[in-house]
Amino acid sequence: MLSLLIFFPLLAALVTAFSGEHAKKVAFAAAIVEFAYSLCLFFRFDPVGGIQFTENFAWITNLGISYHIGMDGIALLLIMLTTFLVPLIILSSFNHKYKSPSLFYSLILTMQFALVGVFSAYDGFLFYIFWELALIPIYLICLMYGGKDRLRITLKFFIYTLTGSLLMLVALIYLWLQTPGTHSFDLQALYALNLSSVEQSWIFWGLFLAFAIKMPVFPFHTWQPDTYVDAPAPGTMLLSGIMLKMGVFGVMRWLLPIVPQGVAEWGNLAMILSVIGVVYASMIAWVQKDFKRLIAYSSIAHVGLISAGVFSLTFQGLHGSVIQMISHGINVVGLFFIADMIEQRTGTRDMDHLGGLRTTAPGFATYFMIIMLASVALPLTNGFVGEFLLINGIYQYSQILAAFAGLTIILGAVYMLNAYMKISLGEAKSVAKHFAALTLTEKAVLVPIVIMIFLIGIYPKPLLEIAGPAVEALKLSIQTATSLK
């Protein structure tokens, strides 16, 4: 029952909203139950069985809108990522005191509801509803619990993403009108459309802008660094760890197979923008003083590489992007948690004022180093698997672009190691002198992340096997769509 997986967080959010001071425990328990349930689905999933756990019934009959959900390998992995990260995000916020915690945790769970919905929707309208639903809780989290410039920044964030969403809505309605008979929003009906190449170009841009803003791809990224920095730590983790993947996922399921000719025409530009994003964001990350802002830019760089892999339309590129979405989700949540702990303990995020954590807090510095190396994509960590496949895929598409995209290996190492050096090595600065030891809850967040880093890094086979057939099917549907049109 996939519906249960979608609606359980919503129910939990309602319960949490009325649980007063116990909110965080209730929310955590609910998130764990959700994770356990998703594990059940994970083990029942058959990698070569195509789309599974399908449910399909009419919702708004006279407009051809149905409640059609299901999941393939790609969706399964992203749903697992969501259910794995949400309990960690909730746990990571335990050492913060948020005012009206019942509302805060209720919003996080509502967000989870929408995210799982986005990944399982097979009906365009349903997808759009979940897509927009995900925006409201995160907006409120940032608005009510963010930093001091939150009012301006969150409005910019909201209007930016809503612009994309509305363009997507117009594109979806246009597609809906082209479907034969009484019209339908079903994904298969949209795949079967026969659009002219001019129409495809317009639809491509309508949909691509929505996804590009969400990811974000250069030059639609300007909302992102401010929002990431200003949002409360759990909000940043939700945004970067999971919400960003909505954009990539959207490209895979709702863009490539629907307008293959549009992609053929404009995919090259999308690719170039993505690669520019990789280099540009890495360079900016390099000169950041604020550690949280550095991670925000590194996130743009990573997602640029993922998006370039997707638009390469090669098996390796697509495969790698699925794996990298999972790895990036795990690593970036880890990094933001590290940044949050540093800020809480020392009161600053400025790397020039930090230093010497290696000597004052060796345990912490070790966790930091592992997560940092995973983010740099050292072999045997999870970051390597995806990045290797991605660069391989981009290389097949264009050697020149691959050369630029490959810079991420060097630049990523440069800014990350630089940050690690400034924060952990050298002489302990005054703020870092009394760095409290890790608490149990903090370890409970870091240990699963580190386990996943090594598990995926050393033995990525199960992941690859789940994603493989789904990517194969995606490639096939792009090919059939291209040959039809």
Partner 1 sequence: MNTLLVLAGIGVFGLFSEIFRFKKALLPVVFLGLAAALVTTVCDWNTNVSYFNNMMKVDNFSLAFSAVMICITMLWFIISPGFFTDETSKSDHFTLILFALTGGVLMSSFNNMVMLFLGIEILSISMYILAGSNKKSLASNEAAFKYFLMGSFATGFLLFGIALIYGATGSFDIDVIATRLSEGNLNSSVMLFAGILLTMIAMAFKVSAAPFHFWAPDVYQGAPTVITAFMSTVVKTAAVAAFFRLFIHTFTSMTEVWHTALMIISAATILVGNITAVYQTNVKRMLAYSSIAHAGYMLMAIVSMNSAAPSALLFYVIAYSVSSIASFTILLMVSNSTGNDSIESFYGLGKKNPFLAIMTLISMLSLAGIPPTAGFFAKYYIFIAAMENHMMPLVLIAVLGSLIGVYYYFRVIIAMFRDGNEKEIDFSGRYKLVMIIAGILALALGVAPGIVTGLL
Binding interface with partner 1 (CB under 8 A): 59-63, 100, 103, 128-129, 132-133, 135-136, 143-144, 151, 154-155, 158-159, 162-163, 166-167, 169-170, 173-174, 176-177
**Is the CB of 170 or the CB of 413 nearer to partner 1?**
170
Smallest separation, CB 245 to partner 1 (Å): 20
**Is the CB of 163 or the CB of 268 nearer to partner 1?**
163
What secondary structure, in 3-state letters, does the chain show? CHHHHHHHHHHHHHHHHCCHHHHHHHHHHHHHHHHHHHHHHHHHCCCCCCCEEEEEEEEEHHHCEEEEEEECHHHHHHHHHHHHHHHHHHHHCCCCCCCCHHHHHHHHHHHHHHHHHHHHECEHHHHHHHHHHHHHHHHHHHHHHCCCCHHHHHHHHHHHHHHHHHHHHHHHHHHHHHCCCCCCCEHHHHHCCCCCHHHHHHHHHHHHHHHHHHCCCCCCCCCHHHHHHHCCHHHHHHHHHHHHHHHHHHHHHHHCCCCHHHHHHHHHHHHHHHHHHHHHHHHHHHCCCEHHHHHHHHHHHHHHHHHHHHHCCCHHHHHHHHHHHHHHHHHHHHHHHHHHHHHHHHCCCEHHHCCCHHHHCHHHHHHHHHHHHHHHCCCCCHHHHHHHHHHHHHHHHCHHHHHHHHHHHHHHHHHHHHHHHHHHCCCCCHHHCCCCCCCHHHHHHHHHHHHHHHHHHHCCHHHHHHHHHHHHHHHHHHHHHHHHC
**Is the CB of 166 or the CB of 425 nearer to partner 1?**
166
Smallest separation, CB 166 to partner 1 (Å): 5
**Is the CB of 158 or the CB of 435 nearer to partner 1?**
158
Smallest separation, CB 339 to partner 1 (Å): 25
Smallest separation, CB 348 to partner 1 (Å): 25
**Is the CB of 66 or the CB of 298 nearer to partner 1?**
66
Smallest separation, CB 6 to partner 1 (Å): 14
Smallest separation, CB 129 to partner 1 (Å): 5
Smallest separation, CB 333 to partner 1 (Å): 26
**Is the CB of 107 or the CB of 432 nearer to partner 1?**
107
**Is the CB of 164 or the CB of 355 nearer to partner 1?**
164
Smallest separation, CB 241 to partner 1 (Å): 23
**Is the CB of 136 or the CB of 283 nearer to partner 1?**
136
**Is the CB of 173 or the CB of 431 nearer to partner 1?**
173
Smallest separation, CB 173 to partner 1 (Å): 5
